[in-house]
Amino acid sequence: MTKDPNIICVPESATIKDAMASIHESGIRVALIVNDDKKLVGVITDGDIREGLLLKGKTFDSPVAEIMNKNPTTATKDTPASILLETMLEKSIYEIPILNEDGIVTDIILLSELKQIPLAKQDITAKEVEAINEVLNSPYLSIGPKAEEFEAAVAKYVGVKHAVAVNSGTSGLHLLVRAFDIKDGDEVITTPFSFIASANAALFERAKPIFVDIDEKTLCIDPAEIEEKITPRTKAILPVHAFGYPADMDAISEIAKKHNLVVIEDAAEALGSAYKGRKAGSLGDGAIFGFYPNKQITTGEGGMVLTDNEEVAKLCRSMRNQGREEGGGWFNAVRLGYNYRMHELSAALGVVQMSRIDEMLQRRMNVANLYTTHLKSIEDVITPYLGPDTKMSWFVYVIRLNPEKFSRKERGEIIKRLGEHGISSREYFSSIHLQPLYVQMFGYKEGDFPITERVANSTIALPFHNNLTEAEIKYVSDTLKSALEEIKG
């Protein structure tokens, strides 16, 4: 890409073909039209060119003056960056020419230079900072009162008897697998459309994850497909609330009860979500949350085990702390354990975040609703499904492209083009069964779980956090629309 005025500027007498050549050489989507005195008289974008050729009967030899914008937005070198950014977002433009006092082009400012919209961003206030400082000035950095306070807050919010703070949601899943005595040779039924930790938790204990394809609307495990995968070795069902959307827990629990199976609820992405009036995290025999920085609340790194089973909670507390019994000696391990403890700094952060959870979940819902409003009219974009009897707490905002219109490769090109405009996005998730580890261990291949694969090849996670503005959401939506149109011509 170059911003050299000698390349991005073309004379007023130029043809559309000349402007296209300038755009191609510069790598910027506009050409600046100047008169004989080098003064700016207009701007032409690649979109203007397409419209002129396709809709207005113009040819490559038509003068650019016939389709250029003769009243472009401009600025001077002294225009503050904040004003440039506000103007670009408000007018949905990606470039502003910079002119000197004589109206001659000296530079061009690109939106991508001013604005980077991250995929996620934590919501930290002075209250969280104060809580961290209090811990730093206390006698306890680990194994202290803040972890217990955080556990109590989460247990009360979800409506369960026991909560056990750990250093990650993955650690929590591992502890539940051990607490429910899932071991070598056992099988755990789960989904191939998730973060890989949900399946790996079984592998940690030499059990085998058995995948069941997903429902194409909810993106959660399809209960109708579960029973045919049950064998004498099946020990548990591990549903995942994909992106915060609750799985069909009544159907899953009914199957589990019929076959005497444990239900381990992976609610890592679903703090605050609800299924038929019951909060995620309270719907199985045991559950976990994750508190990575992109989650509904964050502790930096961290997770929580939840259960109404006192013995399971006791085992998890012991195993997270090197196998010690509560109240036992420091060098008195009674079982195999791990260092899965949550330290006091993370717990203090979690306590404050839990005190703000209703406010933060409302903000996330507002952002999601604005996205849906701006995206619903874009052809071939599928917005997240919201079904009856469910409340979604919005971990991420993931759209899908029409798989009949856009290939996986084209999806990658769209993500690249969003990035070129300062917008972070990514595919979300990849099919677990097609990741190299699982192909190597179990011989999975394309076509084994067609719905998961079709969804995984078409998803794009858009920037999503509590403080995303409507102007930013509109910019993301407009840029996505332009990228889709460019890909399909």
Nearest to 290 by CA among 189, 188, 166, 151: 166
**pLDDT of amino acid 269:** 98
**434-458 pLDDT, tens digit each:** 999 999 999 999 999 999 999 999 9
**pLDDT of amino acid 323:** 96
pLDDT at 1 over 80: no
Ramachandran angles phi, psi of 240, nearest 5°: -120, 130
> 476 or 92, which is more confident?
476
pLDDT at 91 over 90: no
- What angle, rounded to 10 degrees, do the helices at 357-375 and 344-355 form? 70
Chain CA centroid to CA 237, Å: 25
pLDDT at 368 over 80: yes
CA atoms within 13 A on the CB side of 458: 22
160-165: average pLDDT: 98
Decide: 1 and 108 in contact? Cβ < 8 Å.
no
Location of structure tokens 């079982």: 335
| Residue 318: partners with Cβ closer than 8 Å, 6 or more residues away | 324, 325, 326, 334, 335, 337
Q: Is the dihedral of CA 10, 15, 21, 27 positive or negative?
A: positive
Tokens of 472: 């930013």
> Domain map of the chain by residue range?
5-114, 126-355, 357-488
Chain CA centroid to CA 100, Å: 43
pLDDT at 90 over 90: no
Nearest to 423 by CA among 453, 401, 397, 392: 397
Interatomic CA distance for residues 85 and 225, integer angstroms? 50
Tell me whether the omega of the peptide bond preceding residue 195 falls within 30 degrees of 0, making it cis: no
SS (H, E, C) 295-324: CCCCCCCCEEEEECCHHHHHHHHHHHECCE
Interatomic CA distance for residues 426 and 242, integer angstroms? 16
CATH T-level assignment (fold) for domain 357-488: Aspartate Aminotransferase, domain 1 (3.90.1150)
**370-407 pLDDT, tens digit each:** 999 999 999 999 999 999 999 999 999 999 999 999 99
338-350: average pLDDT: 98
pLDDT at 324 over 90: yes
Ramachandran angles phi, psi of 59, nearest 5°: -120, 175
Average pLDDT of the chain, as a whole number: 95
Alpha-carbon distance values, 431 to 205, 256, 307 (Å): 22, 25, 29
Q: In what order do the strands lie in the sheet with 390-391?
A: 278-279, 274-275, 390-391
The DSSP 8-state label assigned to residue 426 in this structure reads: B
CATH T-level assignment (fold) for domain 126-355: Aspartate Aminotransferase; domain 2 (3.40.640)
CATH T-level assignment (fold) for domain 5-114: CBS-domain (3.10.580)
Tokens of 99: 């002119």
The CA dihedral of 128, 158, 302, 194, to the nearest 10 degrees, is -130
**28-86 pLDDT, tens digit each:** 989 999 999 999 999 999 989 999 999 999 999 999 999 999 999 999 999 988 899 88
149-161: average pLDDT: 98
Decide: 161 and 308 in contact? Cβ < 8 Å.
yes
Burial class of residue 19 in the structure, from the number of CB atoms within 10 Å of its CB (0-12 exposed, 13-18 middle, 19+ buried): buried
326-347: average pLDDT: 93
**197-233 pLDDT, tens digit each:** 999 999 999 999 999 999 999 999 999 999 999 999 9
Annotated catalytic residue 295? yes
Cβ atoms within 10 A of the Cβ of 178, count? 21
Interatomic CA distance for residues 65 and 34, integer angstroms? 10
Decide: 115 and 87 in contact? Cβ < 8 Å.
no
SS (H, E, C) 244-276: HCCCCHHHHHHHHHHCCCEEEEECCCCCCCEEC
State pTM to two decimals: 0.85
**pLDDT of amino acid 421:** 86
Which one of 58, 146, 235, 295 is the catalytic residue? 295
